[in-house]
């Protein structure tokens, strides 16, 4: 089991992402700096459990998380950018 990283800064990394059919580098500081965030991962996009339970539950609880000081929730997946954009 992984331990919580609550209160720790997100490490500085560069994400290779797709935006408007072009590759764009996004730095973690540009995304997360000055925010309290939740980052969770999914084993795959469109898998039954991920689509029906994991992702919807974070959406349902966003208001409660926001009241506790969470600014954003980010989902990471091992799928390629084309699948994730869908």
**Strand 22-27 versus strand 14-19 pairing type:** antiparallel
- The 3-class SS string of the chain reads CCCCCCCCCCCCCEEEEEECCEEEEEEHHHHHCCCCEEEEEECCCCCHHHHHHHHHHHHHHHHHHHHCCCCEEEEEECCCHHHHHC
Residues acting as catalytic residues? 50
Mean pLDDT within 21-37: 91
Q: What is the pLDDT of the chain when averaged over all its residues?
A: 83
**Quick one: pLDDT at residue 1?**
65
Mean pLDDT within 36-55: 76
């Amino acid at each position: 089991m992984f331990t919580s990283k609550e209160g720790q800064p997100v490490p500085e990394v560069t994400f290779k992402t797709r935006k408007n059919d072009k590759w764009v580098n996004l730095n973690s500081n540009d995304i997360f700096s000055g925010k309290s965030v939740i980052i969770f991962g999914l084993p795959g996009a469109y898998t039954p459990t991920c689509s029906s339970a994991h992702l919807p539950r974070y959406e349902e609880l966003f208001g409660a998380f926001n009241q506790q000081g969470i600014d954003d929730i980010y989902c990471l997946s091992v799928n390629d950018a084309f699948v994730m954009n869908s």
